[in-house]
Structure 1
Amino acid sequence: MQHGKLFLFLLLLTVSTHPLSAQNAAALKLNLEDLFEMAEAKNRALKISDYNRQLADAAVTDAKKKALPSLEASVSASYLGDGWIADRDFSNGLKAPMPHFGNNFAIEASQVIYAGGAVDATIKNAELGEQVAALQKDNDRQGIRFLLAGYYLEMAKLENQKQVLQNSISQTQKLLEQINAKYKQGLALRSNITRYELQLKSLELNLVKLENSSTILNSELATALNLPKGTTIQVDELQTIAPNYQADPNYWQDLAVANAPVLKQLDLRAEQSKNQETLARADKKPQVVAFAANKLDGPVVIEVPPLDKNFNYWYLGVGLTYNIASLYKADSRVNLAQLSMQKVLEQNELVKDNLFQEIHAAYIRYQETFQVYDTHLKSQELANENYTVIRNRYLDELVLITEMLDAQNAKIDAELQAANAQINILFSFYNLKKLTGTL
């Protein structure tokens, strides 16, 4: 009986501690590099991009196989009915007996020797498509990483704001204790206590809103990483960036020219368009094909009466075909390909101009974030000094409680602005890296 109770106790202990272990396992403290590595393996959008790249690889293999010789084999068996023979005016008709079993076997091989460059252009287009797909995955990777960085930095902002509010709540509670003590001594009004109780409730409500926003962002980040529902992601320490880091605006444009997947895709799309013109011109050229075949037919029906025998023959040779209609059809396709290429080249220049303008604007905003941060740091310092002075004067009954509330609100706002300004530096920095393809 005692052994049974001991077993039951151990079983209950195991069951009761299991959810705690699962809960601990669902909490992850990650930095941005961890998120990027996890997204590489788990993000659904990147998986789709990888499938597109694999499809492009398969298209290259398929295009190359089209350049190989074609080989066809056929075999058939048939029932032949009796024939009928008559004069040219259909008089004097007679029944012509036929061997009733017919058979055919054929094997034929052919190889395109020359097609005006169409075969090579088709293979080249497939290879360019493979490179475009690989670059598109790189571009998608940059977008996903920037999305994750945005979620992550926003969560860091919320954590900073929660710390500021928690500190403010703690200070407000201590101040309430002091005001209550003065109220009991008859040195403070009940309305002063009420105002600070309202202030405390307001701070607590804002803290609840921040918690809810953090929960929503955490869920979105977990979904982007394809993590199980309920996974909690905790923000690790963020890097700091010096104000003079890559302060040369030309650095970022040069970096984009060397690395941005969007710019690399432009050259490939122009080359694809050029190949389309090659394909269009190939229609105006003859096609040369080498062929060989071996056939076995029976019976021999070209004789009258038919011969109930098998007839085997083979042949090989070279054929030349030319589509005469291309003389008046191909020119329009060539003109269409040329216009398409001019359009692609113009679009490429437009994309380049827009990207460089985005980089220029992002660089200016990036430099601005340092100035904003310095301003908010100074504002925070002044707000803290002002709050300390007003608080002491209030406790000495030299100022009204409204001034105390204003000073506290200014202090909270300055602390939040300073915390957010530091994170905005990182956001602007990651935006530049995303635009240049180096995130």
Structure 2
Amino acid sequence: MNNHRLLTGLLAAALLSEGVYAVAQSRRVMTMEELFEIAETASVQLRPSFSGEEEAQREISVARSAMLPDITADLSLSYIGDGFTTKRDFSDYQKAPIPHLGTGFSLNVTQPVYTGGAITEGIKLAGLKLTAARYATELQRDNIRFTLAGYYLDIYKYTNLMTVTENNIAQARMVLDEMRARHEQGVALKNDITRYELLVANLELQLVKINNTLAILNRNLSVTAGLPDLIEVVPDTAILDRSLPVADEDWWQLEASLNAPSLKLARTGVDISRNAESIVKSDRLPKVGLQAGWSVDGPILVEVPPIDRNLSYWYVGVGVSYNISSLYKTNKSLAKSRVATRKAIESLDAAAENVRLGVNADYVRYLEAYQELKTQEKSVELAEQNYATTSTRYSADMALITDMLDAANSKLDAEQRLVNARINIIYYYYKLLFTTGKI
């Protein structure tokens, strides 16, 4: 009868600890997708990327403005002193009165017609920078999402571990009470009581560490996602019921080659370097532009004596300019640009290699997680059989309480490892999504 009451108490303690934990932690149950949506608008770490996109968009407008005409206006007002005349040997000084008020106004317009491709390539460069900014945002978004997924699944793991630890503490205390009762009856040793008191103390310390880890993970998750400080996220248990695809590695490799943001960014870097080469080459070509102007100046000082009137004239024409120094300066700049392009291509090759290696490693771990799940399912089955057998023997006074405790702990540990195995499958699936740019 005592054994039956103890067994019932163990089960009640386990259920009670789970219920208390649920009440304490159920602040807000959220799915991973909900976290991703919140982070899209609230994450502080993503805002600089959005600002970078806006800056790149503004740069396109600046580049296009180079196609517009340059218009300059000059206005001057001056005081002109009297002049003088002399002979060539500076003798026979004579004063030459000049109108003292000098005014001038000019308006000049220059419209670029041909710049050797500098303007068009500059606009193209700005567009490529915008594309790169968008890919950088995509990469940062994927980094944030994968970080959130890691925190989310770790919270699930440690929550499960906390439940197991609380159950172990409750069971250890039950055994400790039983041993104390037997010690009073003279059938248990004081050393056994001390051993289980130490076990309870270690389990309680482990529980404190688990709670601290959960607090840190929740804090990191909330800050990264941009959630309010008071929100405590509880993972949705339905995530373990998701059916995840198991495609072959070639499919994942193809998806990575098409969608990985790091590869998109590296390819855009190659395009930017090649565009920079074209801009350097444009320095060797002449520049052609339409020119027009109008000016009015006074007084007219080219006449002797000066005429106190305004002289106005206008002009329209075509201007051609050529930078002769580009013949011997551009070669060095072009050589530098070509090296930069080669470096960008090599960086693309290195990025592609890293992505291929990453996909391979993640895919192997993904399949390994499924194998681990099968192993843990078998472990749970065996642990349940052992628990049932030990429980029957304990009820018949054929097993010690320590045997019952070991069987219960083995069952709980096996169940914990089974949940962790399912979580590992989800983790490596999201790792594959992250590596391939599909998260």
Please report the TM-score for the alignment, with normalisation by the length of structure 2.
0.87
What letter is aligned with 2:259?
Answer: N
Alignment match, 1:66: 66
AA partner of residue 31 (structure 1): T
Per mean C-alpha deviation after superposition, the further-off stretch among 41-50 and 86-95 is 86-95
The one-letter code of the counterpart of 2:37 is E
Provide the C-alpha distance between the structure 1 equivalents of 2:188 and 2:401, rounded to a whole number of angstroms: 10
**Contact 2:73–2:105 (8 Å) recurs in 1:** yes
| Superposed counterparts of 1:204-219, under 5 Å | 204-219=204-219
Whether 1:376 aligns to 2:376 is yes
Residues 52-107 of structure 1: CA distance to partner in whole angstroms, max 9, x if unpaired? 00000000001001111111112121111222333344333333222111111111
3-state SS of 2:300 partner: coil
1:18 corresponding residue in structure 2: none
The equivalent of 1:260 in structure 2 is: 260
Q: Return the alpha-carbon distance in structure 1 between the equivalents of residues 163 and 277 of structure 2.
A: 63
Shift of 1:339: 2.3
The aligned residue for residue 343 of structure 2 is 343
- The answer for the alignment partner of 1:116 in structure 2 is 116
SS of equivalent residue, structure 1 residue 111? strand
CA distance, structure 1, for counterparts of residue 99 and residue 418 of structure 2: 101
Paired letter, 2:86 = A
Alignment-derived partner of residue 142 in structure 1: 142
Letter matched to residue 325 of structure 1:
S
Write the letter of the residue equivalent to 2:34.
D
* Deviations 1:102-135 (CA, angstroms, capped at 9, x unpaired): 1111111101111111111000000110111011
**CA distance, structure 2, for counterparts of residue 437 and residue 402 of structure 1:** 51
Deviations 1:345-394 (A, max 9, x none): 12211211111111111111111111112222322333344355456656
Whole-angstrom distance in 2 between the partners of 1:174 and 1:221: 36
Structure 1 residue 146 displacement after superposition: 0.4
**Structure 1 residues 120, 89: CA separation in 2 closer, same or farther (over 3 Å shift)?**
farther
Contact 2:168-2:409 at 8 Å conserved across structures? no
Change (3 A) 1:206 1:149: same
Compute the displacement of 1:298 (Å).
1.1
2:11 match: none
Amino acid aligned to 2:219: S
The separation in 1 between residues aligned to 2:186 and 2:156, in whole angstroms, is 44
Alpha-carbon contact 2:162-2:207 (below 8 Å) kept: yes
1:419 and 1:244, CA in 2 relative to 1: closer, same or farther beyond 3 A? closer
Q: 1:202 and 2:197 equivalent?
A: no
Q: Does 1:364 align with 2:385?
A: no
C-alpha separation in 1, matches of 2:251 and 2:242: 16
For 1:130, the aligned partner's letter is L
Correspondence 1:352 to 2:352: yes
1:29, 1:396 → 2: CA distance? 44
Deviates more, 1:78-87 or 1:174-183: 174-183
Displacement after TM superposition at 1:202 (Å) = 2.5
In the other structure, the counterpart of 1:152 is 152
TM-score, length basis structure 1: 0.87
- 1:322 is matched with 322
Amino acid at match of 2:383: A
1:179 to partner: Cα distance: 4.1
Structure 1 unaligned regions, length at least 5 = 1-23
More displaced stretch, 380-389 vs 198-207: 380-389
- Is the CA contact 1:363–1:432 (under 8 Å) kept in the aligned structure 2? yes
Paired residue for 1:84?
84
Between the aligned partners of 1:436 and 1:344, the Cα distance in structure 2 is 21
Which piece of structure 1 moves more, 150-159 or 51-60? 150-159
**Counterpart-to-counterpart distance in 2, 1:78 and 1:28:** 77
User: How many Å separate the matches in 2 of 1:255 and 1:110?
Assistant: 51
Question: Shift in Å at residue 37 of structure 1?
Answer: 0.7
1:394/1:297 CA distance change after superposition, 3 Å: same
Does structure 2 retain, via aligned residues, the 8 Å contact 1:104–1:298?
yes
Amino acid across the alignment from 1:235: P
Shift of the 268–89 alpha-carbon distance from structure 1 to 2, 3 Å rule, reads farther
Counterpart-to-counterpart distance in 1, 2:416 and 2:123: 58
CA contact (8 A) 1:241 1:426 kept: no
Task: Answer whether contact 1:83 1:96 (CA < 8 A) is retained.
Answer: yes
In the alignment, is the contact (CA less than 8 A) between 1:77 and 1:104 conserved in 2?
Answer: yes
Match of 1:281 in 2: 281
203 and 389 in structure 1: CA distance in 2 versus 1, 3 angstrom threshold = farther
Preserved contact between residue 373 and residue 422 of structure 2 (Cα < 8 Å): yes
1:167 is matched with which residue?
167
Displacement after TM superposition at 1:137 (Å): 0.5
Measured after TM superposition, the shift of residue 238 of structure 1 is 4.3
Residue-by-residue CA offset, 1:121-177 (whole Å, 9 max, x unaligned): 000000110111011111110000001111111111111111212222333344445
Hey, what's the Cα distance between the residues in 2 that align with 1:151 and 1:404? 35
Deviation at 1:319, TM superposition (A): 0.8
1:286 and 1:323 in contact (8 A); partners too: yes
Which one-letter code corresponds to 2:376 in the other structure?
H
- Residues 19-30 of structure 1 aligned to structure 2 (within 5 Å): 27-30=27-30
Aligned residue in 2 for 1:434: 434
Q: 1:406 to 1:94 in 2, by over 3 A?
A: farther
Specify the code of the residue in structure 2 equivalent to 1:71.
I
Give the letter aligned to residue 316 of structure 2.
L
Cross-structure match for 2:421: 421
1:101 is matched with: 101
Alignment of 1:214-229 (within 5 A): 214-229=214-229
SS at structure 2 position matched to 1:92: coil
CA distance in 2, matches of 1:185, 1:385: 33
Instruction: Quote the Cα distance in structure 1 between the aligned partners of 2:406 and 2:44.
Output: 49
2:302 and 2:397 mapped to 1: Cα distance? 127
